[in-house]
Amino acid sequence: MCGIVGYVGPKQASNILVDGLRRMEYRGYDSAGIAIINGNGVKIRKAAGKLSALVEKLKFDTPSGTVGVGHTRWATHGAPTTPNAHPHLDQSGRIAIIHNGIIENAGTIKKALLARGHCFKSETDTEVLAHLIGEYYVDNLEEAVAGALWDVEGAYGIAVVCSEEPNTVVAARHGSPLLVGVGDGEYFVASDASAILEHTRSVVYLDDGEMVVLKRDGYRVRNLTETHLEKPVNQIEWDLATIERGGFAHFMLKEIFEQPESLTNTLRGHLLEEEGTARVRGLNLSDEELKRFDRIVITACGTSWHAGLIGEYIIEELARIPVEVEYASEFRYRNPVLDDRCLVIAISQSGETADTLAAIREGKRRGARTVGLVNVVGSTIAREVDGGLYLRAGPEIGVASTKAFNSQVAALAMVALRMARLRNLSVLHGRELIHALQALPDQIRQILDRAPDVERLAQKYHQASNILYLGRGVNFPVALEGALKLKEISYIHAEGYPAAEMKHGPIALIDQNMPVIFVAPRDAVYSKIVSNVEEVKARKGRVIALVTEGDAEIAKLAEETFPLPKTHDLLTPILASVPLQLLSYYVAVLRGCNVDQPRNLAKSVTVE
């Protein structure tokens, strides 16, 4: 959620912090602030709204100093106002803290602090933690932070500075991501590697319950019980250019157009054409173990959940194994039935989604094997699962996921292919799926070449108040995903439904003002979806259809059609999602929405 960056070194901290926050603004953009230590106390500057509001303030009043912390906020406790913006000070004004997460017992702690004479200036749980650290402080910031953290419940990623220790930053995590950047005579802490990539590619990932103390002469990692920890230094593979817009108007548009390359990277090295199967060594499961599973549970949130639904169709069709797809936010609260013959697959772009992380921990506690499909190397989910596949889609900055979604579906298809070949799928059918997977990047390029056609559609329908998305079978989740994308970034109300379910309620909404988008390839249920199109037409609905190239039947019924290249029926969702992503993007732009930073949303949801 929130963006955290801290710095200790020889350079002026303010510019480094602001540049880092700019690269992380997708994690939170309700407010922003910095705290600088310069020998004359703690200097805090913060502002409500986008980072630009803070930048404007700093033009006239930039504090000097070579140690500091910075924060962009996604509001949880308290409205997005300047008093609620981070950093927050303790009662004495000596200690400043920035925080990502939620302190669940903040109310109880605050009540006790109020009884001891503390006064609070914000509505946040973070200020409560600052005051608590202040109470523990006796000439040692490191021990004060550790002492306070024993008292708190909930999730946190924090960075703390103190005017009494002007060369020190103390940071800690539990449930919210943090990493240490190791530079040349300078050290960083951040919630995302993008914040520090300009300065170093060497990072140390912190795990839950760990702290780091940064000083000018080095860093030290420990846990709350003072045990010193040796942690490996990892190298970030991608460079700064990959997190720049590269001439595109928005990150989302750039990431949509990156899909031929990102999908190629996801598939690279996994497809074994001669054997008609996929190499999935990262799962850390032998063929015998893969054959032993008699049930799969996929758990995820949002767009990743939609990818999981598509995975359910693919795995059940190919491998004939029953699959359940669970909202991660509900999974651990409903007493799920799991055992050692169940495989739990967790899907998360960031690898830090709090609900999904809790779900895999619950799965492991109940004896299931867990694997993760994540995009961020070194993320918490990637470290905690028994095995998994990295998507290798590259950094995704736009809040609305696009390229990661299709990489997730492709990864699920490869897992399904491996399991199916171990059971019942012939080598010929395996090769057929591999050929279709290999063709996808070029087919997506063909779709992207027709982006102006989608833009013209957006111009025609961008003033709609409601839009219905319909699909059948494996394309029903595509309808859900298309509707979600439109809601996320254009704020138009949209719903996705199985096309056959339309007549059980949603058909009441259809009139001459209702655009209805059908995902209607020529597949096994084609004749059925043609009937559904007829039902909409009979009620004067405005039909827009994604069809297989050369389809003339639906073209006679629809006001608009967009042709999709022919592919394997189970892979149609990957192609169909691309024009729907473009449509959402162009509609949002025409409506004047902030595409990369939609209201109330953040990229990595690290709170429950």
- Look at the chain and report how many structural domains it folds into: 3
Residue 9 predicted with pLDDT over 60: yes
Q: Are residues 411 and 385 in the same domain?
A: yes
Of 413, 432, 447, the residue at which a domain comes to its end is: 447
Residues 184-225: pLDDT tens digits? Answer: 999 999 998 889 999 999 999 999 899 999 999 999 999 998
Instruction: Output 320 or 79, whichever has higher pLDDT.
Output: 320
Q: What is the pTM of this model?
A: 0.81
For residue 210, what are its two tokens?
């760990």
Q: Is the Cα torsion angle 578, 583, 589, 591 positive or negative in sign? A: negative
Q: Is the peptide bond before 87 cis (omega within 30 degrees of 0)?
A: yes
Residues 62-67, mean pLDDT to the nearest whole number: 95
Cα–Cα distance between 521 and 572 in angstroms, integer?
A: 8
Confidence (pLDDT) at 247: 80
Residues 355-395: pLDDT tens digits? Answer: 999 999 999 999 999 999 999 888 889 999 999 999 999 88
Q: Are residues 274 and 217 in the same domain?
A: no
Confidence (pLDDT) at 3: 87
Confidence (pLDDT) at 376: 86
Cα–Cα distance between 328 and 361 in angstroms, integer?
A: 11
Q: Are residues 13 and 162 in the same domain?
A: yes
Confidence (pLDDT) at 78: 79
Confidence (pLDDT) at 142: 96
Of 186, 207, 236, the residue at which a domain comes to its end is: 236
Q: Are residues 42 and 148 in the same domain?
A: yes
pLDDT band at 537 (very low <50, low <70, confident <90, very high): confident
Residue 26 predicted with pLDDT over 80: no
Q: Are residues 287 and 309 in the same domain?
A: yes
Q: What is the CATH number of the domain that holds 603?
A: 3.40.50.10490
Residue 1 predicted with pLDDT over 70: no
Confidence (pLDDT) at 602: 64
Of 447, 477, 494, the residue at which a domain comes to its end is: 447
CA distances from 487 to 192, 302, 537, 586, 596 (A): 26, 12, 24, 13, 13
Q: What is the CATH number of the domain that holds 32?
A: 3.60.20.10
Confidence (pLDDT) at 240: 67
Instruction: Please state, for a pLDDT cut of 90, what percent of the chain lies above it.
Output: 77
Query: Known catalytic residues?
Result: 2, 603
Q: Are residues 466 and 380 in the same domain?
A: no
Residues 153-160, mean pLDDT to the nearest whole number: 92
Instruction: Please state, for a pLDDT cut of 70, what percent of the chain lies above it.
Output: 97
Is residue 319 left, alpha or beta, with left meaning phi > 0 and alpha meaning psi from -120 to 50? alpha
Nearest alpha carbon to residue 318 among 415, 416, 414: 416
Residue 576 predicted with pLDDT over 80: yes
Q: Are residues 264 and 134 in the same domain?
A: no
Residue 334 predicted with pLDDT over 90: no
Q: Are residues 480 and 345 in the same domain?
A: no
Q: Are residues 43 and 145 in the same domain?
A: yes
Residues 264-286, mean pLDDT to the nearest whole number: 94
Domain that holds residue 566: 450-608
Confidence (pLDDT) at 521: 95
Confidence (pLDDT) at 75: 75
Q: Are residues 113 and 169 in the same domain?
A: yes
Residues 449-494: pLDDT tens digits? Answer: 999 999 999 999 999 999 999 999 999 999 999 999 999 999 999 9
Nearest alpha carbon to residue 407 among 521, 255, 285, 236: 255
Cα–Cα distance between 456 and 572 in angstroms, integer?
A: 23
Confidence (pLDDT) at 606: 54
Residues 402-440: pLDDT tens digits? Answer: 999 999 999 999 999 999 999 999 999 999 999 999 999
Q: Are residues 134 and 261 in the same domain?
A: no
Q: Are residues 461 and 605 in the same domain?
A: yes
What's the longest Cα–Cα distance across the chain? 79
Confidence (pLDDT) at 113: 96
